[in-house]
Chain A
Amino acid sequence: NAGVTQTPKFRVLKTGQSMTLLCAQDMNHEYMYWYRQDPGMGLRLIHYSVGEGTTAKGEVPDGYNVSRLKKQNFLLGLESAAPSQTSVYFCASTSADTQYFGPGTRLTVL
């Protein structure tokens, strides 16, 4: 049981490049989330999904898109990366009463 995994662990992009972060969970959870964490700030919700085929905006959705084509996967896309998107990104999934986080992806946009 791997829990929540994230790919890649690290990535460096140039401004304007695109990329996709992959989150996978093997706990059969319906709810999945993408957060970003910046220095001096708590985790902020980017987008979330309440089930396969659904997505919704969180607190800071601008510049990101998401897709949930399969229940176990939640993808976060950056179409045109900006330096302001330099951050650590965490994925999470939720059972009835507990949220499980992945190990994070450290993204640097130059």
Chain B
Amino acid sequence: DQQVKQNSPSLSVQEGRISILNCDYTNSMFDYFLWYKKYPAEGPTFLISISSIKDKNEDGRFTVFLNKSAKHLSLHIVPSQPGDSAVYFCAASDKTSYDKVIFGPGTSLSVIP
């Protein structure tokens, strides 16, 4: 049973609009959440993270929102750019140690010029 779920395998958005990628988790012990971005034929790269003591973290065009009661987080990209087209992985951990990180299956984002 997947502890980290990304129920949308793919998402298409027009350039300049907002992209919203969603992630749900089942383990209430998770207290640290990460988003990674992956281009084809490359490894994932870290994008942004959030601790459970916060409900929002922002880094430039990227904002992650955390709703602990709903066990839900989302990544907002504003404005979306064609270079944002990639697979986005949500990940969660009950410690800030990477051997405990559980990854979701990913959402493929296409930003249409």
A interface residues, Cβ below 8 angstroms from B: 4, 31, 33, 40-45, 48, 56, 58, 90, 92, 94, 97-104
Contacts and interface: CB of A to CB of B under 8 A. Distances in A.
A31 B43 contact: no
Nearest 4 A-B pairs (CB), nearest first? A42-B103, A101-B43, A43-B103, A42-B104
Contacts of A97: 96
A42 B91 contact: yes
B45 interface: yes
B103 to A, nearest CB: 3
A56 B99 contact: yes
A98 B42 CA distance: 17
Contacts of B44: 43, 90, 101
A89 to B, nearest CB: 10
Contact of A104 (B43, B45, B106): B43
A92 B103 CA distance: 14
Contacts of A99: 46, 98
* Residues of A contacting B: mostly: strand
Nearest to B99: A48
Contacts of A45: 99, 101
Nearest to A94: B98
A101 B1 CA distance: 26
A91 to B, nearest CB: 8
19 contacts: A4-B43, A31-B98, A33-B98, A33-B99, A40-B9, A40-B105, A41-B2, A42-B89, A42-B104, A43-B44, A43-B89, A45-B101, A48-B98, A90-B43, A92-B98, A98-B46, A102-B43, A104-B41, A104-B43
B91 to A, nearest CB: 7
Contact of B103 (A31, A44, A100, A104): A44
A101 B39 CA distance: 12
Given A42-B89, A101-B44, 7 more contacts: A31-B98, A42-B104, A43-B44, A43-B89, A58-B99, A99-B98, A103-B41
